[in-house]
Structures are given as structure tokens and as C-alpha cells.
Structure 1
Amino acid sequence: MDIHWHPFTVHKRIPLTISRGTSHGSTNIWLRLQQDGIEGWGEATSFSIGERGQSSDAIATDLASLAPALKPLHPLDGQSLEDILSEAGVGSATRAALDIARHDWLGKRAGLPLWQLWGLDRRRIGPTSVTIGISSPAAASQRLQDWLQQGPIHAVKVKLGSPDGIVADQAMLSALRSALPATTKVSVDANGGWSLPQALTMAQWLADQGVSYLEQPLAPGWEADLYPLHQASPLPLFVDESCFTSQDIPPLADRVHGINIKLMKSGGLSEALRMIHTARACGLQVMFGCYSDSSLANTALAQLSPLATHLDLDSHLNLKDDPFSGADFHDGHLIPNSQPGLGLSYHAPHP
């Protein structure tokens, strides 16, 4: 099989601030896998989590080194492909691009969308949350109004972990809570921005505010402190930065209630499916998330959405120049279509 890749840059309509900094956009990689007259598409998105982050340049370097070894393979050789990727030690975003493209190819070869190949029921897809980054109470309220202009919203994820401390976090959340309908599901993601004492205080306070669950309250590397927090927290705890693949899940099972799966961390749909089954076997809930992914990667993960408890696949909705279209955002839900494979189309962004 032949692979070709092209960098493309996407810009956020509204910059997103989390505890680690502010993002205005991203340079991602569009991967095209060709075999037997069929082309499968994948995406690699750069992201930053300490030493495990991956840049677009590193992804392109990985792909250039892999291309000769992949040429003799066929997209049906999934096991051999995984062996080559493991032996090469390439980053998870590179693996994700190849795995997504291979699945798109397989769906097109079969003439069926991936969700249907897996026997999934799109009617079980819950609402996807839209994200509001760290900001002042007034700016957060305005961001909420911006989201509401895009259509009905049933779930909101609020980024906390402000460098100004938990008093600032509380003021921002309070402003949003007063502006939201009581039926809106609200979750909080601290992106590791709190200490254990702060997390204990905030977990109780957020529960009193009607928040549904708390994501990554402590920084990766502090997993030992998740145990006492789990024992005391009235809210379900989810981890994101602390959980990349299925191997990370069993050690976390006694100190969290769920995991956040992202394609760029997991290495693609194959590992995402393994993570879902591993989490369920450990009695944990599953949520899906994203980085600065375009519609390509979010449409890919949306194929598995009937298996998720919570969804946060909204990054493409905040892009000014998304070159792809795929899953349909309707009534607060991201629903994959019935076209073969991922069901994607490409349109050159306006200059």
C-alpha cells in the first residue's frame, strides 16, 4: 500500500485556554492510504502532554521512515501493520493516522460505514459536550452564548484549573451555571491543574453545583493521590492525560470511575476499541475526547460513539477552516452518516 501525507493548518474561531496554556490552532497531518483503486483517509493531530507530546514535524518524520516498510503490505494486513509500528516505536498520533486510514479503506472496500460494520446502533449516541475554556466569568458567559448560536446544546464541558486559583474557578463556573438550563449536563475538566487538597475541596463544591463528573483533577504522575480523592469524592472521576492505552487502565481501576479515550493518545480506532472493552471489564465508564482535531478524526471516533457514556467531540465545531466534513452535528449530537468508511469529503478552505 502507498501512503501520502500533507500538513494542513487549522485555526480556532475562539482560542481555547486550559491549565497548561492557550491554543489558537494546530498544524495536523492528512494521511492518504492507497490500494486497489481505493483511498483511505487518516489524520494525525499534534498535542502536548509533557514528554509524551508529539509535533507535526515528528509525525511527518515518522511517516517518511515508515513508508518503505509499509509498501509491501495490504490494508487487510492489520496484524502485520501493528507489528511494524510497534517495532518502529513511532508516536501514537502517527499510529492513529495510519489506523484511521486503514479503517476508512476497509469500510470503503466493504461498501459500508464503520459503525455498521461493527454492528452499532446510532440511536444510542448521546449528546456531545461543547467546551468552554478558562476565562473570566463574563468571557465564559459570552462563550456559552457563542455556542448556543450554533444550535441546541445539551452538554457543556468547563475547563478549570485557573492559575488564579480555585476561587477564580468557582466564580467562572457559577456564572455559567446560572446561564444554563437546568437540564444541561455540565462536566468539569481541570487538566491536572489542582493539588490534592484543592481537588478535594472542588469535588464537593462542584457536586453541590450539580456537575455530573470531574475529569483529570490531578496532574499525570500523581496517580497515587487519585486513590484518596476517589474515596472522598462525591463526583465520578475520569482520567485523560493519565491514560493513553489499554495497558494504563487496570492500575487505575480502583481510583477512578472512567477514562477519556482520544485517538491521538490511543494510536487509532483499533486500540480505542481495546480500551473500551478493557475499561468495561474493569467496571469503568468510557468517554471520548479530542485535541485540535478536524472533522476527519472526530468523524472517525464518532463511529464508536454508541459505546461511550460521555462524548466530547467538539473541536472541529470551533474551527474557522476545517477542510473536511463528515459526521453531522444535529440537535447537540454528532452522528456519523451512512456513506462507506468514514463518510468524509474534502473541500479546500478559503484563503
Structure 2
Amino acid sequence: MKTQISQFTVNKRFPLTISRGTTAQTTNIIVKIKENGIEGWGEASPFGVGNQGQTTEIIIQALNRITPILELYNPWQRQEIEDILNQYQISSAARAAIDMALYDWMGKSIDLPLWKIWGLNINKIVPTSVTIGINSPEGAAKRTQDWLEYMDVKLLKIKLGSKEGIAADQKMLLAVKQTAPNIALFVDANGGWSLADAISMSLWLADLGIQYIEQPLPRGEEQNLATLKKHSPLPIFVDESCFTSADISKLAEYVDGINIKLMKSGGLSEALRMVNTAKAHNLQVMFGCYSDSCLANTAASQLAPLADYLDLDSHLNLIDDPFMGASVENGRILPNNLPGLGVKYSEITT
């Protein structure tokens, strides 16, 4: 099979601030795999979690290293290809792009979308949350109103963990709640709280009817999750603390759910393993994203019927997304009936 690697830059309509910093623009990568006149697409987007940073340059280097070797195989040899990726310790975002492209190729080769190949029911897909980044109370209220005017918002995920402390977090959240009083709210601290602050905030947030807290403690402080679990009246989800299925059993006793992202997991294959492992441990599952375009989020939407929560909104905040795929209906991200991932170039590209 032949491979092609290229880059594209996407810009956010509204820069997103979390506890680790602000993102306004990213340069992502598309991988195309060609065999027998069929072309499969996959995406890699950069992200950083503690010492797990994967920049565009790191991803490109990994892809340039492995793709000449992959050309010795055909897209049906998925097990052999996975062994090669493991052997060369290819970074998870690069793996995700390759894995997506292989699945896209497979679906196109048999003329079926992935969700049908997996036998999934897209009517079970839940609404996606949309994200309000760390901001002033006034800025957060304005961003909330922007989302309400843009689409039929069913859920809001509020990014907390402000460097100004939990008092600033509380003021911002109250501003959002006042702007959208009838919409369910989730909270994601992105590891921005100490244990004491996490306990305090979990009690305060529970009184306001918040549904869960995500990644309250920094990656590397998982040993404190047991204490937090004893004191928190809210369900606890982990994101940065959980990359692959191998992480789940170590966390299962102290959390209620995991956030699966294709760039962390290394693609749809591992994401499916994570779903099954999480369910075996009686954990709930969320699918999330980084600065992914419609390509990667449409790929994630193929597995969306298996998720309890969805946070696939990054492409909705792009002003120059080069792709089109999954649609938004009643707040839900729905894959289409096109074969493979069901992604095409958008009108702005063509």
C-alpha cells in the first residue's frame, strides 16, 4: 500500500483556554493510504499532557519513520501492522492517523460505514457537550450565549482550574449557569486542582446540580483519587490519567468513568478495547477530542453509540475545517451512510 502525509492548519473561532494554557491554532496531519484504487484517510492532531507532549513535528517524524515500512503490507494485514507500530513505539497520535486510514480504507473497500460494520445503532447516540473555556465571568457568559445561538445545545462542559484559584472558578461557573439555566453542566478541571480544592469544589458543585467532574487532579497524582472518591458526592471521570486500556484496571476502583480520545488511545482499535475494558469494570465511557477537525471527530462518531457521554465539539469551533462528515442534529453528532469514515473535503477546500 502507498502512503501520503500532508499537513493542514486549522484556526479556532474562539481560542480555548484550559488549566494548561490557550490554543487558537493547530497544524494537524492527514495520512492517506492507497491500495487497489481505494484511498483511506486518517488524522493526527498535536496535544500535550504532562510529559506526553506530541507536537506536529514529533508526529511527522514518527510517520516518516514508519510509513516506508508499512508500504510492505496491505491494509487487510491489521494485526501485522499493529505489531510493527508496537515494535517501533510509534506515538499515539501517529498511530491514530494510520489506524483511522486503515478503517476508512476497509469501509470503502466493502462499501459500508464503520458503524454498520460494527453493528451499532446510531439512534443510541447521546448529545455532545460543547465547551466553555476558562475565562472571566463576563467572557464565559458571552461564549455560552455564542454557543446557544450557534446550535441546539443540550450539554455544556465548563473548563475550570483557573490559575486565579477556585474562587475564580466559582464566579465563572455561576455566570455560565445564569446564562444557560436549563442546560445540564459538566465540569473539567484538566488537572488544575489540588486535592483539597477538588474536595471543596466537588461539594460546592454538587449543590449546584453539576453532573460530574472530569480530571480534578493532575496526571501523576492518581494516588489521591481514592481520598477524593471518599469525599466527592459527584461522579469522577479521568482523561489525562487514562491513555489506553492498560490504564483502566489501575483506576477503576477510584473513578466512575473515563474519557477516550483517539489521539491518546492510538486510534479506533484501541478505543474499542478501552470501551470493552471500561464496561467490564462497570465504568462509564466518554469520547472526547483535542483540536481535531471533522475528520477525526467523524471517526470517533462511528463508535459513539457505545458512549455514555460525548464531547466531540472541537470541529464545531473551527473557521476553516477542510473536511465535512458527521452532521449535527438535535445536539447529536451523527455519522452518515457513506462508506468508511464518511468524510469528504468541504466546500472551503474544493
- Normalising by the smaller structure, the TM-score range is over 0.9
CA drift of 1:110 comes to 1.2
Q: Is 1:285 matched with 2:280?
A: no
Q: Name the structure 2 match of 1:219.
A: 218
- Cα shift readout 1:247-272 (whole Å, capped 9, x = no counterpart): 00000001000000000000000000
- Cα shift readout 1:119-167 (whole Å, capped 9, x = no counterpart): 0001000000000000011110100111112121000000000001000
Specify every segment of 5 or more residues in structure 1 that has no aligned partner in the other structure, as ranges: none
Amino acid at match of 1:70: L
- Cα shift readout 1:232-290 (whole Å, capped 9, x = no counterpart): 11100000000000000000001000000000000000000000000000110000100
Pairing 1:61-140 to 2, within 5 Å after superposition:
61-140=61-140
Query: CA contact under 8 A between 2:50 and 2:219: conserved in structure 1?
Result: no
Q: Distance in 2 between matches of 1:43 and 1:265?
A: 13
Pairing 1:45-60 to 2, within 5 Å after superposition:
45-60=45-60
Q: Is 1:233 matched with 2:232?
A: yes
Q: What is the TM-score normalised by the length of structure 1?
A: 0.98
Q: Distance in 1 between matches of 2:198 and 2:88?
A: 39
Q: What is the TM-score normalised by the length of structure 2?
A: 0.99
Q: Distance in 1 between matches of 2:170 and 2:67?
A: 50
Q: Distance in 1 between matches of 2:197 and 2:64?
A: 45
3-state SS of paired residue (2:150): coil
Q: Distance in 1 between matches of 2:79 and 2:163?
A: 45
Q: Distance in 2 between matches of 1:103 and 1:185?
A: 34
3-state SS of paired residue (2:286): strand
3-state SS of paired residue (1:248): helix
- Cα shift readout 1:200-256 (whole Å, capped 9, x = no counterpart): 000011111111110000000000001110111110000000000000000000100
Q: Name the structure 2 match of 1:198.
A: 197
- Cα shift readout 1:38-70 (whole Å, capped 9, x = no counterpart): 000000000011221101111111111112211
Amino acid at match of 2:63: L
Q: Name the structure 1 match of 2:9.
A: 9
CA drift of 1:329 comes to 1.0
Pairing 1:160-171 to 2, within 5 Å after superposition:
160-171=160-171
Query: CA contact under 8 A between 2:322 and 2:349: conserved in structure 1?
Result: no
Work out the number of aligned pairs and report it. Answer: 350
Moved over 6 A (4+): none
3-state SS of paired residue (2:5): strand
CA drift of 1:172 comes to 0.6
| Percent identical residues | 56
Q: Name the structure 2 match of 1:257.
A: 256
3-state SS of paired residue (1:52): coil
Q: Distance in 1 between matches of 2:256 and 2:230?
A: 11
Q: Distance in 2 between matches of 1:197 and 1:50?
A: 21
Q: Distance in 2 between matches of 1:82 and 1:72?
A: 14
Q: Is 1:337 matched with 2:336?
A: yes
Q: Distance in 2 between matches of 1:289 and 1:166?
A: 24
CA RMSD in angstroms comes to: 1.1
CA drift of 1:349 comes to 3.9
Specify every segment of 5 or more residues in structure 2 that has no aligned partner in the other structure, as ranges: none
Q: Distance in 1 between matches of 2:340 and 2:282?
A: 31
Q: Name the structure 2 match of 1:268.
A: 267
Query: CA contact under 8 A between 2:145 and 2:179: conserved in structure 1?
Result: no
Q: Distance in 2 between matches of 1:216 and 1:186?
A: 15
Check 1:294–1:331 CA distance in 2 against 1; reply closer, same or farther (3 A cut).
same
Q: Distance in 2 between matches of 1:349 and 1:225?
A: 47
Q: Distance in 1 between matches of 2:216 and 2:98?
A: 32
Q: Distance in 2 between matches of 1:207 and 1:123?
A: 30
CA drift of 1:347 comes to 3.2
Q: Distance in 1 between matches of 2:324 and 2:242?
A: 29
CA drift of 1:348 comes to 6.5
Amino acid at match of 2:161: G
Q: Is 1:207 matched with 2:206?
A: yes
Q: Name the structure 2 match of 1:301.
A: 300
